[in-house]
Amino acid sequence: MAPPNGSSGRVLVVDDEDVVQDVLGTLLRRSAYEVVPAESAEAAIDALGRGRFDVVLLDVMLPGLGGMELLEQLRATHPAMPVLIMTAFSSVENAVEAMKRGAFHYLPKPFKNEEVLNLVAQAVAQSRLREENQQLRKALLERHRFEKIVGKSKPMQDLYRLVEQVAPSRSTILIQGESGTGKELFAHAIHQRSGRAAQPFIVVNCNSIPSDLLEASLFGHMKGAFTGASTARKGLFEVADDGSTFFDEISSVRPDVQAKLLRVIQEKEFMLLGSTETVKVDVRIIAATNIDLRTLVERGEFREDLYYRLNVIVLHLPPLRDRAEDIPLLAEHFLQKSVAENGRSVDRLTPAALDLLVRYPWPGNVRELENVIERAVVLCSGREVDVSLLPAELQYAPPPPQHGPGAVAALPAGLTLHDAVDRYERQIIEVTLRQTRGVQKKAAEILGLKPTTLNEKIKRLKVAP
């Protein structure tokens, strides 16, 4: 809520002394501020719930909930609002403690009128500037947002256009991309832009459901169909009727379940486990994989007929390293999201921190970037995320490429080429193992290595479990 026309800003004065309220109210109103008094922390909380303020003047000594305790609450609920702490017991210790807890500045009683007006003006200016910057950053993000997907690079713009084109159709969609590139977000965007948007969107994470339970989960079962089936149960296909089902990491589905999945796509029908009657469904299939299905077909690990049924329209999601120009936008998006979710008062990333983010190869893609930003916001005690708050592996990101004849990228100080290569290789393997929850066979497939080769590297490089 903007201040009224002609107002310099809205000020909440929290003090239980009438004389202080009168003096500050008169002083600030003469300078065109709108002043709202509150005699206690509880009254202040009530006032903040009814409107926006540019600055709060807060007395330390309050009846009931104290000023320092209220300051803690304000940092959590209104992290961007400047708070000026007031006290008659001025000391360096109190000032330092207030600033540590997030106060904008410190005012000792008795006040000097000029000092009060100067600090309030500074606080209001900071509040307005921060609000304007947030609005500009949000506008920039909205301009380059597609559903919950953020990106302005050409590969992403091409994908947005393709989604708009194919979403209204009934065709099966295959989304290919490395782990963490946002395959589920694109699947949801396709569903939302289709004629099925009002119907269910069911996600089946094929990796997280044990193979022996996946079939029952998909097709449902009759009572007594197997040990433990004490009641009949609908499957996910029946639940998703008229909607969409998204199969994440479809490459891990067993061959016998692949055959039944093929029938659903071709005939739009299936049988519950333990039943001889068919169930008709109209479900759009959207599948995703981080492994080349064609390679699995050649190995005999994936049905060729199912592959061709899935491979009707393919979306190839680029890894984050191939769209580095989107990293600042994504970092800003995740910064705002984490600040809101964690009640922090972090404004920005420093240029040096942003430079490291852009240079890093992001083996974990967008998901890894989101985790890095959230960690930095939670650990940040100031207004900026600096290099020191980024994980150690980012410190060794390769420098930007140098151009010109004979240009060679410099190694970080004190690091030999052999050490740098080992460090980078170890980092890639550790991130990939985290993605696969320690399953070396799956990690080897992602890295394009034989499982025995990966195991040897894990031992030689002393990769953390």
Question: How many CB atoms are located within 10 Å of the residue 26 CB?
Answer: 10
Backbone angles phi, psi at 367, to 5 degrees: -60, -40
Q: Tokens standing for 65?
A: 């909930």
Q: What is the pLDDT of residue 92?
A: 57
Q: What is the pLDDT of residue 394?
A: 83
Backbone angles phi, psi at 8, to 5 degrees: -80, -15
C-alpha distances in angstroms, 18 versus 15, 26, 45, 280, 405? 8, 12, 19, 75, 75
Q: What is the pLDDT of residue 230?
A: 67
Q: Has this prediction a pTM greater than 0.75?
A: no
Q: What is the pLDDT of residue 204?
A: 94
In angstroms, the CA 134 to CA 124 distance is: 15
C-alpha distances in angstroms, 185 versus 246, 288, 322? 11, 11, 19
Fold agreement between 9-141 and 151-224+233-316: yes
- Beta-carbon contacts of residue 288 (< 8 Å; ≥ 6 apart): 174, 175, 176, 177, 183, 184, 187, 246, 247, 248, 249, 250
Cβ atoms of 226 and 181 closer than 8 Å: no
Strands of 46-182, DSSP E: 55-59, 83-87, 105-108, 145-146, 149-150, 173-176
Check if CATH label 3.40.50.300 holds for domain 322-401: no
- Beta-carbon contacts of residue 253 (< 8 Å; ≥ 6 apart): 206, 214, 247, 261
Tell me the CA end-to-end span of the chain in Å, nearest whole number: 51
- For β-strands 145-146 and 149-150, DSSP reports them as antiparallel
Place of tokens 């994989």: 289
Taking only the tens of pLDDT, the chain with its 465 residues reads 444 445 678 999 999 999 999 999 999 999 999 999 999 999 999 999 888 899 999 988 888 888 888 888 888 788 778 999 887 765 556 667 777 777 888 888 888 899 999 999 998 988 887 777 667 666 655 666 687 899 989 999 999 999 999 999 999 999 999 999 999 999 999 999 999 999 999 999 998 888 778 888 898 877 766 666 667 788 899 999 999 999 999 999 998 899 999 999 999 998 887 777 888 999 999 999 999 999 999 999 999 999 999 999 999 999 999 999 999 999 999 998 999 888 888 888 998 899 889 989 898 999 999 999 999 999 998 888 999 999 887 876 555 444 444 444 455 555 566 766 777 788 788 878 877 778 888 888 888 788 888 888 888 888 866
- For β-strands 201-205 and 244-248, DSSP reports them as parallel
| Peptide bond between residue 110 and the one before it cis (omega within 30 degrees of 0) | yes
Cβ atoms of 281 and 262 closer than 8 Å: no
In the chain, where the domains are located: 9-141, 151-224+233-316, 322-401, 415-465
CATH placement of domain 415-465: 1.10.10
Q: What is the pLDDT of residue 209?
A: 86
**CATH topology for 151-224+233-316?**
Rossmann fold (3.40.50)
Q: What is the pLDDT of residue 319?
A: 94
- Beta-carbon contacts of residue 37 (< 8 Å; ≥ 6 apart): 13, 15, 21, 25
In angstroms, the CA 329 to CA 323 distance is: 11
> CATH classification of 9-141, choosing from 3.40.1190.20, 3.40.50.2000, 3.40.50.2300, 3.40.50.20?
3.40.50.2300
